[in-house]
A and B are shown apart, each in its own frame.
Chain A
């Protein structure tokens, strides 16, 4: 089955700096890669996603890049703010036989220091 690895597990940055979180996946047939943000005590919420026919996607201060050949995808947050502090999860959709499921990475705890 799909295996998603996420690094780093914790990340501290100064307010205004950029943050980068990296993920790798194992199933070359995976075609959908969402990123979720989970604030303390709250449910995960989708912040951005990318499909395999696209190499990069941007939404204001957040961008995601995908390298299908290397099976890497990354989340980039620019001009970080204290409210960006949360746990971020990457995920990949893969599967076979008509059953597709989303596999999550282990999460990155981002701390933005004011």
Chain B
């Protein structure tokens, strides 16, 4: 399965609550990414990290936060400030920033 695991697969959140999506990889990859996938909009980059303790905003970072305390882990927090959080979230990792990206199976977040 490519060694990158996202959990949970489905997540429901009440409006006003923060929620954290998990992403773990055992591929020894330096770079990790979070993408949001909406119908007709492809994959949009939320945050990415090239190395432990360092991360950069992507194209749609508002309302999201991340941490990279360990090489294997890159959790994404969807905060209450994210106006439209219902979406499919994909985590990915690559050996370097330009190499093949391996994706997790995704987390479908629904705000109820």
Docked Cα-Cα span, A89 to B103, in Å, equals: 13
Given A43-B90, A100-B98, A101-B48, also A106-B104 (CB < 8 A)? no
A68 CB → nearest B CB, Å = 16
A10 → B minimal CB distance (Å): 10
B35 touches A104 (CB 8 A): yes
CB distance from B50 to the nearest CB of A (A): 7
The number of residues on chain B lying at the interface, defined by a beta carbon within 8 Å of a beta carbon of chain A, is 23
Question: What's the tally of chain A residues with a CB closer than 8 Å to chain B?
Answer: 25
Interface residues of B in 39-65 (CB under 8 A from A): 40-45, 48, 50, 56, 58-59
**In the docked arrangement, what's the CA distance between A99 and B61, Å?**
16
Among A42, A93, A102, A103: residue with most chain B CB under 10 A: A102
Asked if A45 CB lies within 8 Å of chain B CBs, one says yes
Contacts of B97 in A (CB 8 A): 93, 95, 99-102
Contact partners of B35 in chain A: CB under 8 A: 104
Contacts of A95 in B (CB 8 A): 97
CA distance A89 to B105 in the complex (A): 16
Please tell me if the beta carbons of A103 and B103 are within 8 angstroms of each other in the complex: no
Determine whether B75 belongs to the interface, using a CB cutoff of 8 Å to chain A: no
Give CA–CA (A45, B105) in the complex, Å: 11
Shortest C-beta distance, B92 to chain A (Å), equals 8
> What is the distance, in angstroms, from B82's C-beta to the closest C-beta of chain A?
20
> Known contacts A32-B98, A93-B98: does B103 contact A106 (CB below 8 Å)?
no
Could you name 5 residue pairs across A and B whose Cβ atoms are closer than 8 Å? Answer: A32-B98, A34-B100, A36-B101, A44-B90, A104-B42
Further pairs besides A1-B59, A89-B42: 11, Cβ < 8 Å: A9-B40, A43-B103, A44-B43, A45-B103, A99-B97, A100-B97, A102-B45, A104-B45, A106-B42, A107-B40, A107-B43
